[in-house]
């Protein structure tokens, strides 16, 4: 990280940023073409989970190249200045790198879907097996994560 003064060193602070987010951006590499998509997600402290249709571009890319990057941000406000170069933004962000995998095991899919629901609700949900089996569930195992803050 270039701006060490903005780096967040405390993992619990990075986890708090992720848990406060409503959208995660999943970045993949499709050969020489980058691909990024905003998604609903779940987070268990070590993995990020996504769900979606069993077919489509992100699924095809992951099957060819499972390397992934995830990005989270919380915007706390705009900092206005008298000149254009004095404007800024108050934010917190986290970026993680890891490996994506498509979950085939029914128990793993159920666990992942429960983590996704926990991201958005304090309620527990029973997910019908038929619905879970018709949903593609992706798990990104985080191998590296960093946080950044500008206040």
Tens-place pLDDT, residues 102-122:
999 999 999 999 999 999 999
Question: What CATH number does the domain containing 121 carry?
Answer: 2.30.110.10
Average pLDDT, stretch 3-28?
A: 92
Model confidence band, residue 86 (pLDDT cutoffs 50, 70, 90): confident
Range of the domain at 71: 4-78+85-150
1 pLDDT band (50/70/90 cuts)? low
pLDDT of 3 strictly over 70: no
* Number of CB atoms found within 10 A of residue 140's CB: 26
Q: Residue 17 corresponds to which tokens in the numbers above?
A: 């940023």
Check whether 136 has a pLDDT greater than 90.
yes
User: Could you give the number of structural domains in the chain?
Assistant: 1
Under DSSP, is residue 49 helix (H, G, I), strand (E, B) or coil?
A: strand
Tell me the torsion sign for CA atoms 110, 112, 117, 118: positive
Residue 56: phi and psi, rounded to 5, are: 145, 175
pLDDT 10s digits, 46-85: 999 999 999 999 999 999 999 999 999 999 888 888 988 8
Q: Give per-residue burial for 105-138: e unless 16+ CB within 10 Å, then b.
A: eeeebbbbbbbbbbbeeeeeeeeeeeebeebbbb
pTM, two decimal places? 0.91
Tell me the average pLDDT across 128-132: 87
């Amino acid at each position: 990280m270039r701006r060490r003064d903005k780096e967040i060193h405390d993992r619990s602070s990075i986890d708090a940023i992720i848990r406060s987010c409503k959208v995660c951006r999943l970045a993949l590499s499709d050969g020489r073409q980058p691909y990024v998509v905003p998604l609903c997600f779940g987070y268990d402290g070590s993995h990020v989970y996504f769900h979606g249709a069993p077919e489509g571009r992100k699924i095809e890319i992951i099957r060819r190249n499972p390397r992934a990057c995830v990005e989270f941000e919380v915007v706390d406000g705009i900092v206005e200045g008298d000149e254009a170069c004095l404007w800024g933004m108050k934010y917190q962000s986290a970026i993680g790198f890891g490996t994506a995998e498509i979950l085939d095991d029914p128990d793993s899919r159920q666990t992942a879907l429960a983590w996704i629901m926990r991201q958005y609700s304090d309620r527990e949900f029973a997910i019908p097996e038929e619905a879970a089996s018709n949903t593609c569930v992706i798990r990104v195992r985080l191998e590296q994560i960093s946080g950044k803050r500008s206040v």
